[in-house]
């Protein structure tokens, strides 16, 4: 997601960079926004391989799928690594962010090892946050059976996000569209999607600043459908080979040696988390896969994704809010809810259309319960600044609002629920009537609606939906403040233990300087860009 604070300074950066960008564009003209490269498609599913046999996928109806939620960051990383080790034919990855940190290097090294076993590896990454990572990605792509592509590339290969936009001021409309999808597919049999990118903070591996996040492991027909959606992005004109972007004078052997040196220390212990149960009481799925018996719940589901062409389409107006496949998948389910809508969205800006949608749903007697970040827990304060202008109207409409308390989530006695030093919410999840679950990359905000491509899975299995309800309620009970309108008309925040903690619009757990900064800067940031 384009940092909200960065988008607010874009207007100034654009003016300052015009002349400089002319030199940069001419100096970098050899980098083409699209490149000629052969198309490729997903290989046939390995229906008799280790992964399929562990899941029992060959014994069930071809249209059904097996599902399992992954609330534990440790388990979510371990199963990805184990799926790579178990793959026999192909591994496809599509991510908004792949950090060059310990987690990113571990994943890349395991992929390299899989490629050495003749497993085809395709890695597609959005180009917004790749700065400084070209060298590692180019070295990774130097291995046989490996190809790396970046989506919607920038000309400027170094510098921060603002600098990358400033280098192409006349291409802002195109570059502001990003691929926010998150997808992992092994052997065309097992897929993982949800909120997690590839980086330490998404798997509870930092000493501080980790995200509360959620993925789903899906096996069977869902993986086949997700693979076809991956192919659409992989073969899009916006997906450019890293070899066309990063020109190297080193030969193949030297590049491979560079990769090995950069990732040599990145070796993840195979059995480190085998004995840990997650908050749902589930054992490690990676251990189960090694033992040949993945525990899954089977039923019907649907994989969905925005078309990659959304990456170059003009932003729709607020009156068209929801006019894309990923958004409409959620909107239609909210409209059709009879009893309850549970929405978890770390970046939540309903807009006028969203506010009207929730009001109508509540009016027919349906409970609408939203969990999002507080100002203290969010990493995008300007998004919070836009969201808070809707809080009173949402509460008056009957929507129940809860905001994550970073101080509560990070307490020592909460680590069994939220991981080590949890700080922010990153889960993107929708539960309808405790019967259906939608999980994926999409936030309920204008950026996901207008600018980002998104993907996800709709799961029509009540027991899986009820697991998501449990996770939603655990976060509320142990780590979220409930918002209400007080008798004097001001907002009140009620802590998980039922005590009124804050009132009169005083955001919890933040100092006066942040409140003041947000009050000054927030009106300058266009809501449509957040």
Q: What are phi and psi of 355, to 5 degrees?
A: -60, -45
All domains in the chain, ordered by first residue: 47-297 (3.30.870.10), 301-529 (3.30.870.10)
Instruction: With residue 94 as reference, give the H or E element that holds it.
Output: strand 90-95
Q: What are phi and psi of 371, to 5 degrees?
A: -115, 125
Instruction: With residue 13 as reference, give the H or E element that holds it.
Output: helix 10-27
153-160 contact pairs (CB < 8 A, 24+)? 153/31, 153/33, 153/127, 153/240, 153/245, 154/127, 155/24, 155/25, 155/28, 155/31, 156/24, 156/28, 157/28, 157/31, 157/131, 157/245, 157/246, 158/131, 158/132, 159/131, 160/6, 160/131
Comparing CA positions, the residue from 427, 411, 405, 369 lying closest to residue 71 is 427
Mark residue 264 as left, alpha or beta (left: phi above 0; alpha: psi -120 to 50; beta: remaining).
Answer: alpha
Dist CA 26 CA 427 (whole Å): 42
Sheet holding 90-95, edge to edge: 239-241, 146-151, 120-126, 90-95, 183-186, 190-194, 215-220, 65-70, 297-299
Dist CA 386 CA 409 (whole Å): 24
Dist CA 134 CA 282 (whole Å): 38
Dist CA 99 CA 33 (whole Å): 23
Beta bridge partners of 191: 185, 218
> In the chain, what is the straight-line distance between the N-terminal and C-terminal CA atoms, in Å?
9
Instruction: With residue 105 as reference, give the H or E element that holds it.
Output: helix 102-116
418 token code pair: 């939220």
Dist CA 71 CA 444 (whole Å): 20
Sheet holding 500-503, edge to edge: 301-305, 455-459, 436-440, 429-432, 340-344, 367-373, 400-404, 480-485, 491-494, 500-503
Q: What angle do CA 111, 116, 118 make, to 5 degrees?
A: 100
Strands 301-305 and 340-344: unpaired
- Tens digit of each residue's pLDDT, the chain (530 residues): 334 433 443 343 443 443 344 333 333 433 444 445 788 999 999 999 999 999 986 555 667 899 999 999 999 999 999 999 999 999 999 999 999 999 999 999 999 999 999 999 999 999 999 988 899 999 999 999 999 999 999 988 888 888 888 889 888 888 989 999 999 999 999 999 999 999 999 999 888 778 999 999 999 999 999 999 999 999 999 999 999 988 878 899 999 999 999 999 876 656 676 778 999 999 999 999 999 999 999 999 999 999 998 867 664 444 343 457 787 888 999 999 999 999 999 999 999 999 999 999 999 999 999 999 999 999 999 999 999 999 999 999 999 999 998 777 655 555 555 555 457 999 999 999 999 999 999 999 999 988 999 999 999 999 999 999 999 999 998 889 999 998 888 898 988 776 666 655 678 888 888 888 998 998 888 898 88
């Amino acid at each position: 997601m384009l940092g909200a604070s960065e988008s607010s300074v874009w207007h100034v950066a654009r003016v300052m960079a015009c002349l400089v960008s002319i030199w940069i564009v001419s100096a970098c003209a050899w980098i083409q926004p699209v490149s000629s490269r052969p198309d490729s498609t997903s290989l046939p599913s390995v229906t008799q391989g280790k992964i399929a046999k562990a899941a029992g996928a060959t014994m069930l109806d071809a249209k059904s799928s097996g599902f399992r939620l992954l609330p534990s960051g440790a388990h979510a990383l371990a199963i990805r690594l184990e799926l790579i080790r178990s793959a026999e034919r192909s591994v496809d990855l599509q991510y908004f962010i792949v950090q060059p940190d310990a987690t990113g290097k571990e994943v890349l090294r395991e992929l390299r090892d899989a490629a050495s076993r003749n497993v085809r590896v395709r890695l597609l990454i959005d180009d917004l946050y790749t700065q400084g990572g070209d060298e590692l990605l180019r070295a990774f792509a130097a291995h046989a059976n490996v190809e790396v592509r970046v989506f919607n590339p920038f000309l400027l290969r170094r510098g921060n996000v603002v600098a990358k936009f400033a280098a192409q001021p006349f291409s802002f409309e195109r570059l502001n569209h990003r691929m926010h999808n998150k997808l992992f597919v092994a052997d065309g049999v097992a897929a993982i999607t949800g909120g997690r990118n590839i980086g330490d903070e998404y798997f509870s591996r930092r000493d501080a600043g980790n995200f509360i996040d959620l993925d789903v492991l899906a096996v069977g027909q869902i993986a086949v459908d997700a693979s076809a959606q991956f192919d659409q992005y992989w073969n899009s004109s916006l997906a450019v080979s890293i070899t066309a972007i990063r020109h190297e004078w080193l030969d193949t052997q030297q590049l491979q040696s560079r990769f090995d040196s950069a990732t040599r220390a990145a070796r993840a212990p195979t059995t480190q988390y085998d004995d840990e149960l997650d908050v749902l009481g589930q054992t490690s799925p990676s251990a189960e896969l090694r033992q040949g018996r993945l525990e899954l719940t089977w039923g019907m589901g649907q994989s969905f994704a925005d078309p990659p062409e959304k990456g170059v389409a003009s932003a729709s107006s607020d009156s068209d809010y929801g006019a894309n496949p990923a958004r409409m998948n959620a909107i239609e389910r909210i409209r059709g809810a009879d009893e309850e809508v549970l929405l978890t969205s770390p970046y939540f800006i309903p807009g006028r259309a969203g506010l009207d949608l929730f009001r109508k749903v509540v009016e027919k007697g349906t409970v609408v319960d939203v969990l999002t970040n507080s100002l203290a827990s969010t990493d995008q304060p300007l998004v919070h600044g836009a969201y808070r202008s809707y809080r009173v109207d949402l509460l008056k409409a009957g929507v129940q609002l809860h905001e994550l308390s970073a101080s509560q989530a990070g307490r020592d006695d909460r680590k069994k629920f939220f991981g080590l030093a949890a700080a922010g919410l990153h889960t993107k999840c929708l539960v309808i009537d405790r019967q259906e679950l939608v999980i994926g990359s999409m936030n309920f905000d204008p950026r996901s609606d207008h600018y980002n491509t998104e993907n996800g899975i709709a799961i029509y299995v009540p027991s899986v939906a009820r697991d998501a309800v449990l996770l939603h309620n655990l976060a509320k009970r142990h780590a979220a403040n409930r918002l209400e309108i007080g008798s004097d008309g001001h907002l009140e925040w009620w802590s998980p233990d039922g005590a009124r903690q804050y009132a009169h619009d005083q955001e919890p757990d933040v100092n006066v300087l942040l409140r003041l900064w947000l009050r000054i800067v927030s009106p300058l940031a266009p809501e449509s860009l957040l």
